[in-house]
Amino acid sequence: MKAVPRTPMRVVPKTPRMQQTVEKQRRDTSDKARDPVNVFCRVRPLQSDGDLTSLRVKNSTTIALNPQDQLLQHHKPHNANQREIQYIFKHVFQPDATQQDVYASVAQPLVENLLKGRNSLLFTYGVTGSGKTYTMTGNLRHRGIMPRCLDVLFRTISDYQAKKFVFKPDKLNGFEILSEEDALLERQHEMNQRFAGAGRFAFRHKDSDPEIASQASVEPIPLLGLDEDNMFSVFVTYIEIYNNSVYDLLEDSGIQKTLQSKIIREDANRHMFVHGVTEVEVKTVEEALEVFQMGQKRKRMGHTVLNAESSRSHSVFNIRLVQAPTDSQGENVVQDRQNITVSQLSLVDLAGSERSSRTKNTGVRLREAGNINNSLMTLRTCLEYLRENQLSASNGLAPKKVPYRDSKITHMFKNYFDGEGQVSMIVCINPRIEDYDENMQVMKFAEMTQEVQIARATPMKQDLGLTPGRRKANKLFKIAINNLNELGIPEAKDLEVDVGLVYSLGPDFPAYEMDSPEAEIKIRELMHYLEQRIEKRKKLRANLDIKCDSFRQMLMNLDRDNLQLRTELASLKAVYKQERDRSAALEKKVRIHESSIDVLNNTLSKQERQIEELTFKLNEKENMLTQKEHEKEKQKKKFSSKLAVESDKNKREFELKLREQRAKLQERMRIKDEKLRLVSNILQSEDLPSLPRSQSSENILNEKDRGAYTVRTEVSSVPATRTDIYATPRHGAAAANNRHRRSRSAGDKWLEHRAANPVPLGTIMQPYLKNRKSVTKLTDMKELTAHGTTKYCLVSQDADTDGDVETKLYKGNVIPTCGGGAQVVFNDVECLKQKSPVHSPTRKRPSNGNISALGGGAVPSTVTSAQDVASRCNLGIEGHSSKKSKI
């Protein structure tokens, strides 16, 4: 929206004839290029997977409504003949479309129009809860169209913004330009109010309550096509239309106070505006969003059945861009309000249409819904009349009067539909099957809206005859002057640049017809245009004379400087010849010295190479010595550790042998004592017992040839009875027949007793037992006596002193005892190891003949007792165990 007429003409009193001319000019706008209303559609995602939908997105421009699912849900057989209905839009945003996609397709062209001085209108339309407010403003996580437009706008004009209060609203939909002194006073006054806390828009971010994201996740790219010779300022207004009344949400009053209703008026250029509305100048995106949030706190919101936070009013957020050209130096704004261009982008969030039968509204909510539906109906009616007028104009019929004044929303944006800007609409759809009827009405309205053609506005750019790019040229010139001053060049202070007028008399003559009814007006326009050209010619001629004089003076100065420079050049040539001869002699000496220096450098390089070679050899020798020392220390440590291990091992072996010898001596002493006691008992008895065999007492008491020792004694309380000493065994020992032998033809049956999870032997020679039975635990004596077992093998695995696995096989014969049990007489031990052939210690194999008794007997020399051997392989021993052992 512009604050000045698009053609520079004088304002004259209106006459009936002139009024007819104006009406004719309005009709002539039908001959201009026209653009349709751009209608976009955005489908909201379903809130839950269980919701049904009758809407289907066919492609990027087509939506289909299929009422079959809705008919099945509500059981309406009278509409069973309805078919799928298709609607075509400029673009359809599917449920997974992002806010950035919507902005890039819909709002970014409108921001480009705003920078070019054109007006634009964008409004969202749809039922309650369809996502209109989310699309327009967004939330804390996803920015909507409004904050993205502000962000791109400020990033584009960031380097070309005018200082605050250079442009000031005149309360009549226009702006005036303040001088630098007046603007400074206004800024000082605002600062005082900010410190005093009295200013309504003293921006304090800590007191704000953000409702939308203040910063974008990705920085937008500035737009192109900006006039860099202009100064820009941004003003915002925020109003709402509630119950067909207009309210200023930025009015300077407390939040709790009641807002005063505003009226809509027409300015001098026949543009509609809200009289007395508050226009706030903002310099950053944060300030603009804070102003929006202040107004948002006053907006009417209500709770309904369909939406917890339903907008009960139409909200209009206007972004007005004010721009004016700079002077010839590109530093200050030209102090002429006729050169101001004002463009406006209106972002309208319409309240959702709703049915009282679904929302169950009563009282105030019902009245609000009625006013909302009436205003939306008026908007539909105005668009239908515009479409009919277009059809009637093509058929030569009289147009209908469009009822803009029936609603505030249509009255406010009357100029847009009359050809003062571009109009776009986003139709928001909730695809739930419950909203099928409302969605169908919205689709019909959107389809009808696309057929409305609006005249394309072509604002006229003010031509002041100034050089394009003067602002950037002056900036670069100042940078160059500062660089020269830093280098200490005194001539930099006298340099001047002229980026002033361009020698052009302006645009061509306007078209005119002298025989037309408005010839008088055309003549006045031509006179005004010629007067402007004459003034422009005089101004250009005066400027040309000044430039010619300055150019003539510059030529004279250059001629004088040229003569002086020639004289200096002649004297400098003579000095140059002398210096050249002197430099030639010096060059000769330098060449001689350079040759000698080259010889010395070659010698030096040879010496350095020799030094490097010797140093390398020395380092090699030192490394070899160090390595030998390390190896010597390593061998020493290894030998010491090995010597300590061997000494410990020898010490343990010596102690073990000593214990064994001591045990043998004790056993021998015990045997001798037993023999002596038996002999003493025999001698003290009255009658010498008769012997079944002719053996001496020594042979009876000691039978070493059979590998076992058995003690037989006579237990009798009657000395007259003659009893055989072999008939009764000694108390505490089970009698067994050591001479018991089985037939060799029957074969040996082995009982292999080993651990549950044995370690693999890994030796070359593996034990082989042909007829064997393996067990992991002996809990019953029958396991020895059953199945005719004649041989027993006990497998024991342990780690030796070097940490290697050592497997020992204790082998023996199973001999039945007189009490029905059995005893094991061990007669062989095998030791299996796997050693490295390089470092293999001396292998010691124990001698055969080690005996251990399960029911009583002896144990191997390497095991203290039969119980210890059995405990290593979970061997349960039952019966009698001997208290003595013999090897």
In the annotated binding site, the residues are: 126-133
Q: Say how far apart CA 780 and CA 787 lie, in whole Å.
A: 14
Local structure of 493: helix, strand or coil: helix
d(CA 284, CA 656) in angstroms, rounded, equals 96
Please provide residue 259's backbone torsions phi and psi, each rounded to the nearest 5 degrees.
-75, 145
Q: Dig out the tokens for 89 from the structure.
A: 């839009």
725, 714 contact by CB (below 8 A): yes
Give the Cα separation of 878 and 826 in Å (integer).
17
Tallying the residues shown for the chain, one arrives at: 887
Would you say 467 and 502 are in contact if contact means Cβ atoms under 8 Å apart?
yes
Please tell me the distance from the alpha carbon of residue 274 to that of residue 171, in angstroms, as a whole number: 10
Q: How far apart are CA 575 and CA 577, in angstroms?
A: 5
Its sign, for the CA torsion 821, 825, 831, 832, is negative
User: 759 Cβ partners below 8 Å, 6+ apart?
Assistant: 797, 805, 807
Please choose, from the candidates 245, 316, 246, the residue with its C-alpha nearest in 3D space to the C-alpha of residue 274: 246
Nearest to 463 by CA among 408, 504, 419: 504
| Residue pair 41/424 in contact by the 8 Å Cβ criterion | no
Which residues lie across from 427 on neighbouring strands?
Answer: 41, 125
- The Cα 370–Cα 366 span in angstroms is 6
Known binding-site positions for ATP = 126-133
Q: What is the largest CA-CA distance in the chain?
A: 183
Phi, psi angles (nearest 5°) of residue 342: -120, 125
* One-letter amino acid of 774: S
- List b or e across 610-636, with b for residues whose CB sees 16 or more CB atoms inside 10 angstroms: eeeeeeeeeeeeeeeeeeeeeeeeeee
Helix (H, G, I), strand (E, B) or coil at 887: coil
- 822: DSSP letter: E
* Residue 506 one-letter amino acid: G
Measured CA distances, 170 to 276, 277, 278, 440 (Å)? 10, 11, 11, 45
